[in-house]
């Protein structure tokens, strides 16, 4: 091997601390970048592959009760490849004394084999045994039971029965339980009948034989299927064609999460780049004289450039040894976390080779590209200057304004020296500040988004000014229901509502996804809507409707003032959109439509009746909610009311909090990585600064400076850099966090988050910065002060 | 003592002026230098600190460029060469020895000697190793070949630097205070090496403070305030 390459290898080995700093700087960026890209790829691939493997449906049509004859008729419709009848019933499972979990029970064929939206056995019994239930694995936590336990289950309008949880299933056709907020169970028709349900289907699902991704084609086939259903004497209640087809429900929110992660990956690499420039510059500064010697003995600029490019690439190769295994581990951890949250099975965790290739490229290219500028600057310096060790033009003149400022502040001589040192290498200072300020900015932004997320959640919960909502399985006279509720001790108020499912009818005559409709008094005291546009309902309103903003995800063109047609109970009604309100509802969930109870009953009947009560109580904490919920259930059951569901605001908040676990998890990971990268930047820069001034420290000690005085100078410098970076980071975090709260909220909740600046994040980051600055300055300063004056003066 | 001048001009400087811009204003380091050194001469350049002798050497080696005037070495006008060409030319034409040895600390002694051959692409890898070994043997440093420079004494390091300067077998050796950092006994042995090299036909140009050593050179050129002092015959040194 040529001697020059020996130099590269020995340079890598000669200063382990410096090499470790550079390697970590590169590795952290390459690691974050690789882990994130791999996670993104694996999750998207696995989700898509797994979803396609269950044979996802092309459309679902809800109709009146039917049997296998109609299914057979649908199978014969040209263009239909497969069809199946489905029965889904609303139920609830007891999770404790008087505590229930909203649950959907799906009927599976006796052999458990469903052709469309295949449900797989996961654990325990299969197919569902008679008079037993299987639970979708992601919702087991929600029912607070284990396989083998007996749970109390009640379908709407029927008596509760005890039933064993015989096993678990895996159903990828459903949104994960953490997002839907409900549990899912599987039974046979025999079990449904035993629970009091009907032995008939109410939905038909089918798969088209061609053009499975073509919405128009699917819609045309669905129309034909609808005609077949109608010819059988049944009514088509709703036709639902998923848009886009072949997309798992979580794929709607996944791009936002993955975009945030990818941005973080690139940001880490960018910050890493700044750190590399600083470290390579420092190495070149240290080796300026060596470069001069090489020039003097005949080395051309391109040969020296090649040497330092090779050195940079060498750092990159070493970084790969750290970044690749860490990246694989990181990708594995993140994939596990996300797949758990999304209820996706990662069958084969295979780190994508192209990501590995990209990591290799990044580890080699980023150091070389970032090092190009400092290498060029030093290599092009005239040989005489390089031999003299001159790395930059010496300062000219007096630093007059700064000097006057130091005088005015009456700063001590060591502090002035520290301040001058801070600003001596402006390029390095700027890069350190960019890296650290960017790190700080993102850290505070992430903390702010987290705070804002929970504030928005609290506001959303607070807008619901009731404590408990009671849903009956049918309607009752509201006076009777109110009377019964008001007899419960602790109840302060009650309001009667009617609920329904309304299907938007599009101009082409097709129906959209069902809306949760609530008819309530216009001057309700139980709901404080947060309007985003338009206004709330007025008592004088006719057929006016207020929609939640996630309706716009499904029908983006609707505006205040428009008229929409809603298909309710088999008839079409036209409603005038008067406003949009914010509610913390993910895009995957149905939108909500609010109308006045007067307008509703005028159109659909039911004057003086209610099927939903909103109840106010004395206590508003979790314990009070549980107590009042139990008391209400006992009273209403005793008075003969058939209950469908009782839920409290505490439970609603828990569901929402759980729903955002994945987001807060991602945000926490993000802040940790960015914090590490930023902190590393400061640590690296401070170490380099101190190492570079080892000789200067020796001179100071030779003229009488104590170790304490030296450490004070170094520490002050570190703290000054840290505080400046913290200040810049704090300033840039304001617009960054505002933008992120807006984008984050719009993408995931259809409404910007309520921006609440995280003061604790600012304080925490200041603490972290000061700690890193202190440790990173003091350690090398102490090492330097341990050297004898002779050793220090000879240091090069 | 020695100087085996062939009468063939190796170095010629005509009216060379060098100015530096400093914070205090323009500083003239060389003021119209005219100098001729023949092939095979052993020339000592002497003068006080700050007189301009190192600047003069930098002109000859092409490490620095003149503000005006002409510098020709081995028939080449250095002002007409780019930095890249100058580096290659320097590597093949001049061996430079510095006061503080200036060996690369992370390369072994042998690798330091091989480095100029490597940069100038002289010989095969085996040739380079053989030549480096021969040069180190000549310098009585064979046993130190695989050591790092830090493990050697000052005198040994300077001999390594001389071996490195000879690596590409250049016709001209330029030494800037090569004995300035050595004790008198070691300095004497190093100077003796230069004498031997001059006797073998190398042109040696050496900056020195040492009056005795300059007296042993074939010719002494005295520099004061950026000018060559006339008559240039062994003046007192600082």
Q: Cβ separation of A293 and B102 shorter than 8 Å?
A: yes
- Cβ contacts of A300 on chain B, cutoff 8 Å: 84, 87-88, 119
Size of interface A-B (CB pairs under 8 A): 93
Contact criterion met (CB below 8 Å) for A440 and A730: yes
Alpha carbon distance A178, A655 (integer Å): 7
- Which of A597, A650, A613 shows the shortest CA–CA distance to A488? A613
**Residue among A297, A306, A314, A395 with most chain B CBs within 10 A, to mutate:** A297
- Cβ contacts of A11 on chain B, cutoff 8 Å: 106
CA distance A8 to chain B (A): 9
Alpha carbon distance A676, B234 (integer Å): 66
Contact criterion met (CB below 8 Å) for A127 and A108: yes
Q: Cβ separation of B168 and A298 shorter than 8 Å?
A: yes
Alpha carbon distance B7, A258 (integer Å): 79
pLDDT for res A142: 87
Co-location of A64 and A208 in the same domain: yes
Q: How does A163-201 read in b/e, with b if 16+ C-beta sit within 10 Å?
A: bbbbbbbbbbbbbbbbbbbbbbbbbbbebbeebebeeeb
For residue A69, how many other CB atoms are within 10 A of its CB?
10
CB-CB: which of B58, B98, B168 is closest to A384?
B58
Residue with token string 């080699």: A364
- In-domain check, residue A678: yes
DSSP alpha helices (H): ranges in A694-758? 694-702, 707-749
Q: Cβ separation of B84 and A302 shorter than 8 Å?
A: yes
For CA atoms A474, A480, A486, A489, the dihedral sign is negative
Residue in A closest to B165 by C-alpha:
A297
- Which of A128, A121, A112, A115 shows the shortest CA–CA distance to A170? A121
Residue with token string 């010629």: B12
- In-domain check, residue A426: yes
**Helix (H, G, I), strand (E, B), or coil: what is residue A399?**
coil
**Helix (H, G, I), strand (E, B), or coil: what is residue A612?**
strand
- In-domain check, residue B2: no
Strand B42-47 and strand B219-224: the pairing is: parallel
Q: Cβ separation of A7 and B106 shorter than 8 Å?
A: yes
- In-domain check, residue B144: yes
C-alpha distances in Å from residue A556, one per residue of A739, B173, B233? 22, 83, 98
Co-location of A253 and A386 in the same domain: yes
- Cβ contacts of B105 on chain A, cutoff 8 Å: 14, 290, 796
CB-CB: which of B23, B105, B114 is closest to A3?
B114
For residue A365, how many other CB atoms are within 10 A of its CB?
14
Q: Cβ separation of B88 and A3 shorter than 8 Å?
A: no
- Cβ contacts of B106 on chain A, cutoff 8 Å: 6-7, 10-11, 14
- Cβ contacts of A796 on chain B, cutoff 8 Å: 105
Contact criterion met (CB below 8 Å) for A307 and A2: no
Residue A356 backbone dihedrals phi, psi, to 5 degrees: -60, -45
Alpha carbon distance A182, A135 (integer Å): 12
Establish if A703 touches chain B: CB-CB under 8 angstroms: no
Helix pair angle (A254-286, A353-379), 10° resolution: 30
Alpha carbon distance B47, B55 (integer Å): 12
- In-domain check, residue A229: no
Residue in B closest to A398 by C-alpha:
B23
Contact criterion met (CB below 8 Å) for A66 and A203: no
Q: Cβ separation of B115 and A14 shorter than 8 Å?
A: no
Domain boundary among the residues A359, A374, A392 is at A392
Contact criterion met (CB below 8 Å) for A196 and A158: yes
pLDDT for res A419: 67
CA distance B155 to chain A (A): 18
CA distance A290 to chain B (A): 6
- In-domain check, residue A644: no
CB-CB: which of B63, B98, B167 is closest to A384?
B63
Co-location of A480 and A436 in the same domain: no
Q: Cβ separation of A7 and B107 shorter than 8 Å?
A: yes
- In-domain check, residue A230: no
Rg of chain A in Å (alpha carbons) = 34
Alpha carbon distance A796, A793 (integer Å): 8
CA distance A668 to chain B (A): 44
CA distance B92 to chain A (A): 7
Residue with token string 């039971």: A145
Q: Cβ separation of B119 and A11 shorter than 8 Å?
A: no
Residues of chain B with pLDDT under 50: 1-3, 231-238
Contact criterion met (CB below 8 Å) for A205 and A117: yes
Residue in A closest to B169 by C-alpha:
A297
Residue in A closest to B112 by C-alpha:
A3
**Helix (H, G, I), strand (E, B), or coil: what is residue A464?**
strand
Establish if A302 touches chain B: CB-CB under 8 angstroms: yes
Residue in A closest to B167 by C-alpha:
A297
Co-location of A561 and A698 in the same domain: no
Co-location of A171 and A81 in the same domain: yes
- In-domain check, residue A493: yes
Residue with token string 């159109």: A603
- In-domain check, residue A228: no
- Cβ contacts of B112 on chain A, cutoff 8 Å: 3
Q: Which two tokens stand for residue A419?
A: 């301040």
Q: Cβ separation of B91 and A298 shorter than 8 Å?
A: yes
- In-domain check, residue B97: yes
Q: Cβ separation of A301 and B112 shorter than 8 Å?
A: no
B191 Cβ partners below 8 Å, 6+ apart? Answer: B178, B179, B213, B216
Co-location of A113 and A10 in the same domain: no
For residue A648, how many other CB atoms are within 10 A of its CB?
24
Number of folded domains that form chain A:
4
Domain residues for B183? 9-228
CA distance B42 to chain A (A): 21
Q: In A, residues 441-480, which contact B (CB 8 Å cutoff)? A: none
- In-domain check, residue B201: yes
CA distance B165 to chain A (A): 8
User: Chain centroid to CA A575: how far?
Assistant: 35
- In-domain check, residue B202: yes
**Helix (H, G, I), strand (E, B), or coil: what is residue A188?**
coil
DSSP alpha helices (H): ranges in chain B? 53-61, 83-93, 109-119, 125-138, 154-166, 184-199, 211-216
User: Chain centroid to CA A545: how far?
Assistant: 31
pLDDT for res A467: 92
CB-CB: which of A294, A298, A301 is closest to B92?
A298
Cis peptide bond upstream of A127, omega within 30: yes
- In-domain check, residue B209: yes
- In-domain check, residue B81: yes
B9 Cβ partners below 8 Å, 6+ apart? Answer: B36, B37, B38, B39, B72
Number of folded domains that form chain B:
1
CA distance A385 to chain B (A): 9
Establish if A311 touches chain B: CB-CB under 8 angstroms: no
Residue in B closest to A386 by C-alpha:
B63
- Cβ contacts of A7 on chain B, cutoff 8 Å: 104, 106-107, 111, 115
Q: Which two tokens stand for residue A1?
A: 């091997």
Alpha carbon distance A174, A60 (integer Å): 13
pLDDT for res A600: 94
CA distance B90 to chain A (A): 6
**CATH code at B60?**
3.40.50.300
A405 Cβ partners below 8 Å, 6+ apart? Answer: none
B155 Cβ partners below 8 Å, 6+ apart? Answer: B182, B183, B186, B189, B190
**Chain B residues near any Cβ of chain A (below 8 Å):** 23, 58, 61-65, 83-84, 87-88, 90-92, 96, 98, 102, 104-108, 111-112, 114-116, 118-120, 125, 164-165, 167-168
CB-side exposure of A40: number of CA atoms within 13 Å? Answer: 19
Strand partners for A593: A517, A547
Co-location of A525 and A456 in the same domain: no
pLDDT for res B27: 87
Strand A99-107 and strand A515-520: the pairing is: unpaired
Alpha carbon distance A476, A473 (integer Å): 10
- Which of B29, B25, B21, B32 shows the shortest CA–CA distance to B54? B29
Angle, CA of A391, A392 and A393, to the nearest 5°: 140
- Which of B137, B54, B140, B150 shows the shortest CA–CA distance to B101? B150
In the sheet with B94-97, reading across from the earlier edge strand, the strands are: B94-97, B172-176, B203-207, B42-47, B219-224, B227-228
CB-CB: which of A299, A396, A397 is closest to B119?
A299
CB-CB: which of A14, A303, A382 is closest to B106?
A14
Residue with token string 């709260």: A741
- In-domain check, residue B235: no
Co-location of A743 and A794 in the same domain: yes
Alpha carbon distance A359, A20 (integer Å): 19
- Which of A439, A400, A438 shows the shortest CA–CA distance to A420? A400
Q: Cβ separation of B87 and A301 shorter than 8 Å?
A: yes
Co-location of A519 and A585 in the same domain: yes
Q: Supply the pTM of this predicted model.
A: 0.72
Strand partners for A167: A124, A134
DSSP letter for each residue of B164-214: HHHTT--SEEEEESTTTTS-HHHHHHHHHHHHHHHHTT-EEEEE---HHHH
pLDDT for res B4: 55
Q: Cβ separation of B106 and A10 shorter than 8 Å?
A: yes
Residue A105's H or E segment, with its range, is strand A99-107
Co-location of A659 and A611 in the same domain: no
List pLDDT tens digits, range A643-656.
877 888 888 787 77
**Which class for A340: exposed (0-12), middle (13-18), buried (19 or more C-beta within 10 A)?**
middle
Alpha carbon distance B13, B226 (integer Å): 13
Residue A239's H or E segment, with its range, is strand A236-240
Residues of chain A with pLDDT under 50: 393-398, 795-796
Co-location of A290 and A363 in the same domain: yes
pLDDT for res B233: 44
Q: What is the ipTM of this complex?
A: 0.83
Rg of chain B in Å (alpha carbons) = 17
Establish if A300 touches chain B: CB-CB under 8 angstroms: yes
Co-location of A446 and A493 in the same domain: no
pLDDT for res A72: 94
Residue A300 backbone dihedrals phi, psi, to 5 degrees: -80, 160
Strand A592-596 and strand A515-520: the pairing is: parallel
User: Chain centroid to CA B146: how far?
Assistant: 25
Contact criterion met (CB below 8 Å) for A511 and A240: yes
Cis peptide bond upstream of B231, omega within 30: yes
- In-domain check, residue A634: no
Domain residues for A706? 401-463+654-796
Q: In A, residues 386-425, which contact B (CB 8 Å cutoff)? A: 387, 394, 396-397
Alpha carbon distance A480, A501 (integer Å): 24
């Amino acid at each position: 091997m040529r001697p020059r390459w020996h130099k590269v290898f020995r340079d890598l080995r000669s200063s382990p601390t410096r090499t470790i700093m550079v390697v970590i700087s590169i590795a952290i960026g390459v690691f974050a970048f690789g882990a994130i890209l791999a996670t993104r790829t694996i999750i998207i691939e696995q989700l898509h592959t797994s979803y396609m493997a269950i044979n996802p449906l092309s459309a679902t049509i809800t109709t009146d009760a039917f049997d296998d004859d109609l299914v057979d008729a649908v199978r014969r419709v040209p263009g239909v490849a497969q069809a199946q009848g489905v029965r889904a019933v609303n139920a609830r499972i007891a999770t404790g004394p008087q505590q229930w979990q909203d649950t959907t029970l799906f009927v599976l064929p006796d052999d458990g084999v469903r052709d469309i939206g295949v449900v797989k056995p996961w654990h325990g019994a299969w197919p569902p045994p008679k008079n037993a239930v299987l639970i979708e694995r992601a919702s087991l936590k929600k029912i607070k039971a284990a396989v083998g336990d007996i749970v109390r289950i009640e379908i709407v309008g029927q008596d509760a029965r005890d039933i064993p949880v015989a096993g678990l299933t895996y159903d990828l056709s459903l949104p994960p339980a953490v997002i839907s907020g409900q549990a899912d169970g599987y039974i046979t028709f025999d079990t449904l009948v035993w629970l009091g349900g009907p032995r008939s289907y109410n939905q038909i699902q089918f798969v088209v034989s061609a053009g499975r991704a073509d919405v128009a084609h699917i819609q045309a086939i669905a129309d034909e299927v609808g005609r077949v259903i109608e010819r059988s004497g049944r009514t088509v209640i709703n036709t639902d064609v998923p848009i886009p087809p072949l997309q798992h429900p979580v794929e709607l929110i996944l791009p936002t999460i993955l975009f945030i992660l990818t941005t973080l990956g690139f940001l880490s690499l960018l910050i890493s780049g700044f750190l590399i420039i600083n470290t390579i510059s420092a190495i070149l500064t240290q080796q300026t004289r060596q470069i001069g010697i090489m020039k003097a003995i005949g080395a051309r600029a391109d040969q020296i450039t090649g040497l330092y490019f090779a050195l940079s690439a060498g750092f990159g190769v070493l970084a790969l040894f750290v970044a690749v295994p860490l990246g694989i581990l990181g990708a594995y951890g993140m994939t596990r976390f996300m797949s758990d949250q999304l209820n996706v099975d990662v069958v084969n965790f295979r780190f994508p080779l192209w990501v590995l290739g990209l990591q290799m490229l990044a580890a080699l290219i980023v150091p070389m590209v970032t090092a190009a500028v400092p290498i060029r600057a030093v290599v092009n310096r005239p040989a005489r200057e390089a031999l003299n060790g001159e790395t930059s033009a010496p300062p000219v003149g007096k630093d007059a304004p700064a000097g006057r400022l130091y005088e005015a502040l009456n700063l001590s001589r060591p502090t002035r020296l520290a301040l001058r040192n801070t600003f001596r290498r402006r390029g390095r200072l700027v890069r350190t500040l960019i890296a650290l300020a960017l790190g700080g900015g993102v850290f505070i932004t992430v903390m702010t988004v987290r705070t804002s997320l929970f504030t928005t959640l609290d506001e959303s919960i607070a807008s619901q000014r009731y404590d408990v909502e009671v849903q009956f399985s049918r309607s009752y006279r509201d006076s009777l229901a109110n009377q019964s509720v008001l007899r419960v001790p602790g109840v302060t108020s009650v309001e009667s509502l009617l609920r329904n499912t309304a299907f938007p009818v599009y101009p082409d005559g097709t129906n959209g996804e069902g809306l949760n409709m609530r008819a309530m008094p216009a001057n309700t005291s139980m709901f404080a809507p947060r309007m985003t546009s338009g206004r709330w309902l007025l008592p004088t309103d006719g057929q006016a409707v207020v929609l939640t903003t996630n309706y716009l995800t499904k029908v983006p063109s609707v505006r205040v003032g428009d008229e929409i047609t809603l298909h309710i109970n088999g008839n079409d009604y036209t409603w005038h959109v008067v406003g949009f309100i914010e509610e913390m509802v993910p895009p995957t969930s149905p939108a909500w439509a609010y109308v006045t109870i007067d307008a509703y009953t005028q159109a659909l009947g039911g004057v003086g009746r209610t099927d939903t009560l909103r109840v106010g109580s004395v206590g508003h904490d979790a314990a009070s909610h549980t107590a009042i919920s139990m008391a209400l259930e006992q009273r209403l059951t005793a008075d003969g009311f058939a209950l469908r569901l009782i839920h409290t605001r505490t439970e609603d908040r828990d569901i929402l909090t759980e729903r955002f676990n994945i987001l807060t998890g991602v945000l926490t990971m993000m802040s940790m990585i960015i914090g590490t990268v930023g902190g590393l930047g400061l640590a690296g820069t401070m170490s380099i600064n101190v190492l570079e001034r080892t000789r200067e420290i020796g001179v100071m000690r030779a003229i009488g400076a104590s170790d304490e005085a030296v450490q004070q100078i170094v520490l002050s410098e570190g703290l000054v850099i840290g505080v400046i970076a913290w200040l810049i980071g704090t300033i840039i975090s304001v617009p960054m966090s505002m933008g992120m709260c807006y984008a984050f909220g719009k993408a995931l909740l259809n409404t910007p988050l309520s921006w609440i600046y995280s003061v604790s994040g600012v304080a925490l980051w200041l603490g972290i910065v000061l700690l890193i600055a202190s440790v990173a300055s003091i350690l090398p300063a102490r090492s330097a002060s341990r050297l004898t004056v002779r050793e220090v003066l000879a240091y090069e | 003592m020695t100087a085996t001048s062939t009468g063939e001009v190796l170095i010629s400087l005509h009216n060379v002026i060098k100015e530096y811009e400093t914070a205090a204003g323009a500083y003239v380091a060389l003021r119209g230098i005219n100098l001729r050194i023949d092939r095979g001469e052993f020339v000592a350049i002497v003068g006080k600190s700050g007189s301009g002798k190192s600047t003069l050497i930098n002109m000859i080696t092409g490490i620095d460029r003149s503000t005006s005037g002409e510098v020709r070495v081995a028939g080449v006008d250095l002002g007409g060469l780019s930095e890249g060409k100058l580096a290659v030319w320097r590597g093949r034409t001049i061996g430079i020895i510095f006061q503080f040895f200036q060996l690369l600390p992370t390369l072994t002694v042998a690798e330091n000697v091989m480095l100029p051959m490597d940069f100038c692409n002289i010989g095969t890898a085996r040739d380079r190793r053989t030549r480096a070994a021969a040069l180190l043997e000549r310098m009585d440093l064979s046993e130190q070949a695989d050591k790092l420079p830090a493990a050697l004494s000052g005198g040994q390091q300077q001999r390594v630097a001389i071996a490195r300067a000879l690596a590409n077998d250049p016709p001209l050796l330029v030494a800037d205070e090569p004995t300035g950092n050595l004790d008198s006994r070691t300095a004497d042995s190093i100077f003796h090496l230069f004498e031997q090299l001059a006797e073998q036909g190398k042109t040696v140009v050496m900056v020195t403070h040492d009056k005795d050593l300059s007296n042993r050179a074939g010719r002494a050129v005295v520099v004061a305030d950026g000018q060559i002092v006339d008559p240039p015959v062994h003046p007192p040194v600082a």
